[in-house]
Amino acid sequence: MQELIKRAVKVNIILVLTAALICAAMRKFSFGAGLLIGASWSMANFLFTLNLLEIALLRKPKKRFLLLLLIKFPVLYLLGFLILVFKVFPALSLLLGLSSILLVLGVLNICPKPIKRNTNFPI
């Protein structure tokens, strides 16, 4: 499962950067920046949630749990609120950026990485 998440984050970064560069080439800078901001916020939220669940389920040290809670809820959500309130970026670009990690996770989960076969032994 960890490998799927790492691959999804890497693919999402590449996908969002490519889309933002295409938007910049088309002179849609605010749309591209909205994609980047939305995807960054979504990936940070996703990774914080996964770490919180891992700590809670595996009963790891509670100091880290408290630190993640204090970063995720007040800081990350306040930042998300400010992004939405100031309306600097188009809503569609933020929505596409926010949903990009879920789209990539779904596609990578449906289309898993092919199994590498050992070619030293005859089949």
How far, rounded to the nearest angstrom, does the alpha carbon of residue 94 sit from its chain's CA centroid? 13
- When pLDDT is averaged across residues 4-25 and rounded to a whole number, the result is 95
Alpha-carbon span 100 to 15, nearest angstrom: 8
What is the predicted pLDDT for the residue at 114? 73
What is the predicted pLDDT for the residue at 113? 72
Alpha-carbon span 5 to 115, nearest angstrom: 18
What is the predicted pLDDT for the residue at 118? 67
Buried b (16+ CB within 10 A) or exposed e, 60-72: eeeeebeebeeeb
Query: Taking the model in full, what pTM does it have?
Result: 0.86
What is the predicted pLDDT for the residue at 31? 96
Alpha-carbon span 56 to 64, nearest angstrom: 10
Tell me the pLDDT tens digit for each residue of 50-108.
999 999 898 888 888 999 999 999 999 999 999 999 999 999 999 999 999 999 999 99
Could you give the 3-state DSSP secondary structure of residue 44? helix
Tell me the pLDDT tens digit for each residue of 97-117.
999 999 999 999 898 777 676
